[in-house]
Structure 1
Amino acid sequence: MSYHVLIVEDEPSLSDYVKKELIFEDYQVSTAFDGLSALEIFETAKPAIDVVLLDWMIPKLDGLTVLRRMKKIQPDTPIIFLTACDYIGDKVAGLDAGADDYITKPFEIEELLARLRLIFRKWSNSSSKVYELDYLKVDLSAHTTEVAGKTVNLTQREFSLLSYFLEHRGIVVSRADILDDVWGMDFDGQENTVDAYVRYLRAKIDLPNHKSLIETVRGIGYRLNNEN
């Protein structure tokens, strides 16, 4: 299996070097040089990003903010912080925010490769979490969605939203709660963003002449139907 790595690093020489080494090791690689483009790639990349190498000091959005937003979009994606700072407070802040590991720059490529192998070894040993509801099957670990036995492609955000509904199956969730938990508390958009993404999901996962799996609860929000 070829894993997909996103490198978020604003120093071109380092980014190019790490990218070259990872491609040599048979990884798929995407690169971003600032926080905003990193989030855009993370949300829309196909296939999904399997691990992120994230520099602490990057333009537009700092690494810590990017980390928090990525974990809201896709909590299970491993993130390794790359930082020139060896101050223990920075490392603790990164780990507390959800980072899975960190490497202090400068580093040897062999160390980075070893950290990646460890991440994926833990990942492959973890049990798969699969949800099945009527004709819908979602594998959170494999990041796959099937409707009536056919694979459908969801964006990162759509998949995160569907996962959120599945984890709150049968429970009415408000638009505000969905925004906080899926988009992140620092998201400054409007609640109708949720309505738009629910429409996108329904278009992809609902079958013709079937009741929608995602029920609108007037005046409150949404609920995933709890029927098999």
Structure 2
Amino acid sequence: MRILLVEDEPDLGLAIKQVLIAEKYVVDWVTDGAQAWNCLDSQWTDYSVAIVDWLLPKLTGLELCQRLRLHQKALPVLMLTALGQPENRVAGLDAGADDYCRVAEVVIQLR
């Protein structure tokens, strides 16, 4: 399974990538929404899932999800965020994310 990880915080991105690799996933890690869109626009079928941070430079996680759905890309998206309010979850799901996970829960969710 190949995963696109979109996370701009170096320590968190590295930690998530290491957990996923230990679980035998292939991981491509990019650090902003524009890089993610470049990967997904032409190669979205190469990925089984995208793990996307909400707060990203250049193109937010919400904007990336909206763009994926606008272009009818059927890739599952797990929205990753430190924002835990119910309205944030609703906004993420409304933007096209398939699931929503707080940073504190991400390692548990991924295993």
TM-score (norm 2): 0.90
Deviation for aligned residue 1:48: 1.1
Instruction: From 65, 68, 75, give the equivalent of 1:67.
Output: 65
Does residue 97 (structure 1) correspond to residue 91 (structure 2)? The answer is no
Calculate percent identity across the aligned residue pairs: 38
Q: 3-state DSSP class of the match of 1:106?
A: helix
Q: Which has the higher contact order (CA 8 A, sep 6+)?
A: 2
1:193 corresponds in structure 2 to none
Tell me the alpha carbon deviations over residues 155-203 of structure 1, each in whole angstroms, 9 at most, x when there is no partner: xxxxxxxxxxxxxxxxxxxxxxxxxxxxxxxxxxxxxxxxxxxxxxxxx
Q: 1:33 aligns with which of 31, 40, 54?
A: 31
Distance 1:47 1:69, change over 3 A: closer
Is the 2:44–2:75 contact (alpha carbons within 8 Å) kept by the matching residues of 1? no
Quick check: which one's helix share is greater?
A: 2
**Cα drift, residue 107 of structure 1:** 2.2
Give 1:112 deviation, angstroms.
2.2
Residue 88 of structure 2 aligns to a residue whose secondary structure is helix
Residue matched to 1:147: none
Query: In the TM superposition, what is the alpha-carbon distance from 1:108 to its structure 2 partner?
Result: 4.9
Runs of 4+ in 1 over 6 A off after TM superposition: none
The CA distance in 2 between the partners of 1:16 and 1:74, in whole Å, is 30
The answer to whether the 8 A contact 1:51-1:77 is kept is yes
Moved more, 14-23 or 71-80: 71-80
TM-score by length of 1: 0.46
Q: Which amino acid letter does the alignment assign opposite residue 63 of structure 1?
A: G
CA displacement 1:27-71 (0-9 Å, x = unmatched) = 111111111001001123386111010100010111110111122
Q: Which amino acid aligns with 2:101?
A: I
Q: Distance in 1 between matches of 2:36 and 2:76?
A: 15
The change in CA–CA distance for 1:23 and 1:47 in structure 2 (over 3 A counts) is: farther
For the residues of structure 1 that align with 2:100 and 2:73, how far apart are their CA atoms?
A: 17
- RMSD over aligned Cα atoms: 1.6
Count of aligned pairs between the two proteins: 111
Q: List gaps (5 residues or longer) in structure 2.
A: none
Counterpart Cα distance in 2 of 1:31 and 1:59:
14
Tell me by how many angstroms 1:11 deviates. Answer: 0.4
